[in-house]
Structure 1
Amino acid sequence: MSGGPKIALVTGGHARVGLAISRALAAQGWQVLLHAFRGVERAQALDRELNSVPLGIWQADFADVEATLASFDRLLDTLPPQAELAVVFNASIFDNDDRDTATLANFRANHAVHYEVPVLVTLAAARRFPDGQALMLLDQNVENLHDQFLSYCLSKGAMYAALKRLALTLAPFRVNAVAPGPTLLPHGADPVRFEEAARASPLRGASTPEDVADAVVWLMGAGRVTAQTVFVDAGQHLKQWREPAAPDRL
């Protein structure tokens, strides 16, 4: 332990599952440093709600990897060197493409947000805060193959494949992951079909954002655990899963 302040940087931490994670970590005594690309005013309001002294917002567009890394280095310069730093990679994009509709632009955007930025930011964080940790939000699809959301699934799978190597390379910096399943209705999806699909999972229902946040909190407090992925998906990865509630393809 560093003996300094506990600071958790939560990407996309002002909305949906990220909001539940931010609130759960604040309840456990973490100072929550919020990242936002859009919704900066909401993030600023949450910063004031969660932190007795607001920390400010890290605004970055992860699709622009070089600019993101440069702004992250500047952000690290502002943190106390004795801080206990955790980075939670929750920010995501979720567009449905397949072999016929995948484009170079969508492939690059997904890999930037879900793989390149998490890997490179984790490396930078570990260099400055070697006793810190990173936690990746993956998806149950990393163990459940289907042909939807091709760019999204490939990028999440790349991060899943990198997890153990990062944990080994960066130790004592810890690297873990949580892989949610059906949790919140995707934008533009059919709620009836979503509920039907969730009830077909082994535990017969969708997980909640709070379920995911509980797993994040546990892993972040489990000081002797690294290179692990916890599936919070009602057992969905144990069955063939297609996204019946998916919005229309790109």
Structure 2
Amino acid sequence: MAQQVLLVTGGSRGIGAATALLAAERGYAVGVNYRRDAAAAAAIVQRITAAGGRAVALQADVADEAEVVALFARLDATLGPVTALVNNAGILEAQMRVDALDAARIGRILATNVTGTLLCCREAVRRMSTRHGGGGGAIVNVSSVAAKTGSPGEYVDYAASKGAVDALTRGLAQEVAQEGIRVNAVRPGFIYTGMHADGGEPGRVDRVKAAVPLRRGGQPEEVAEAILWLLSPQAAYSTGAFIDVAGGR
């Protein structure tokens, strides 16, 4: 059986990095996409190759259509056509109420979190779908529990973008169900990643964990386990499904 080829967007840190490492352990060849931090992506690739796996670092901003097209073409040329995709790349900005937002910030959030996810899905479907001569595959979108809670007073724009990812997951799952592709999502909750620093509060998980039924924050590796299950043959009857990895929230 040919080796499965996984592309992880935003794969240089946090949930993306944990997913890339776990996937390599389980036999995938891994494309580690990054936007800015070449050194972090190279470190993930080095860890995979040192353990005998295959991986390549691939720079691209998923908000840019031309860069997404080039990203998938480079993956084709190095590891082979994608058979599994994890849409993990996502951004948020400083905590802010809606009445303080401007259109430029909203546009940046939606360009990466929504447009980028859609573009990567498009390129993956063009390669995976039996309608296009592909052999099938699996897509996992990284949404957020914020899609359900709305993240009031902090990140309503981010939450709205993840609500769009949920709708995309449901719709695309049905659209390609008869073309050999499964599309599912995970919704992480408060996870210890560097993203909280992007919002201006590196210690946010520790501040809010008392509100989580399990009374702790989550680890990126715990989210990666859910992602890898959804990609695996063990999840063959799951599409359009969501796994909340959020400690009961």
How big is the alpha-carbon RMSD for the aligned residues of Structure 1 and Structure 2?
A: 2.0
Residue 244 of structure 1 is matched in structure 2 by none
CA deviation string 1:100-144 (max 9, x = no partner): 221222111111211112112212211211201111111101111
SS at 2:36's partner residue? Answer: coil
Whether 2:88 is the aligned partner of 1:90: answer yes
Question: Following the alignment from structure 2 to structure 1, what is the Cα–Cα distance between the partners of residues 182 and 139?
Answer: 6
Unpaired runs of 5+ residues, structure 1, are 237-250
For the 8 Å contact 1:138–1:179, the answer to whether it is kept is yes
CA deviation string 1:20-57 (max 9, x = no partner): 11111111111111001111122123213213475432
Residue 122 of structure 1 is matched in structure 2 by 121
Q: Which amino acid aligns with 2:209?
A: A
For the 8 Å contact 1:141–1:153, the answer to whether it is kept is yes
Residue 146 of structure 2 is matched in structure 1 by 141
Identity %: 29
Whether 2:226 is the aligned partner of 1:218: answer no
Question: Following the alignment from structure 1 to structure 2, what is the Cα–Cα distance between the partners of residues 137 and 25?
Answer: 15
CA deviation string 1:159-194 (max 9, x = no partner): 111211100112221111110000116114163x63
Residue 167 of structure 1 is matched in structure 2 by 173
Q: Which amino acid aligns with 2:128?
A: F
For the 8 Å contact 1:5–1:84, the answer to whether it is kept is no
For the 8 Å contact 2:29–2:53, the answer to whether it is kept is no
Residue 56 of structure 2 is matched in structure 1 by 56
Classify 1:154/1:170 alpha carbon distance in 2 versus 1 (closer, same or farther; 3 Å): same
Which segment drifts farther, 69-78 or 34-43?
69-78
Aligned residues: 231
Q: Whose helix proportion is higher, 1 or 2?
A: 2
Q: CA deviation at 1:84?
A: 6.2
For the 8 Å contact 1:102–1:150, the answer to whether it is kept is no
Classify 1:150/1:71 alpha carbon distance in 2 versus 1 (closer, same or farther; 3 Å): same
Give the structure-1-normalised TM-score.
Answer: 0.84
For the 8 Å contact 1:199–1:206, the answer to whether it is kept is no
Give the structure-2-normalised TM-score.
Answer: 0.85
For the 8 Å contact 1:211–1:232, the answer to whether it is kept is yes
For the 8 Å contact 1:7–1:30, the answer to whether it is kept is yes
- In the TM superposition, structure 1's runs of 4+ consecutive aligned residues that sit over 6 Å from their partners are none
Unpaired runs of 5+ residues, structure 2, are 130-135
Whether 2:219 is the aligned partner of 1:208: answer yes
Question: Following the alignment from structure 2 to structure 1, what is the Cα–Cα distance between the partners of residues 224 and 69?
Answer: 29
SS at 1:100's partner residue? Answer: helix
Q: Which amino acid aligns with 1:46?
A: I
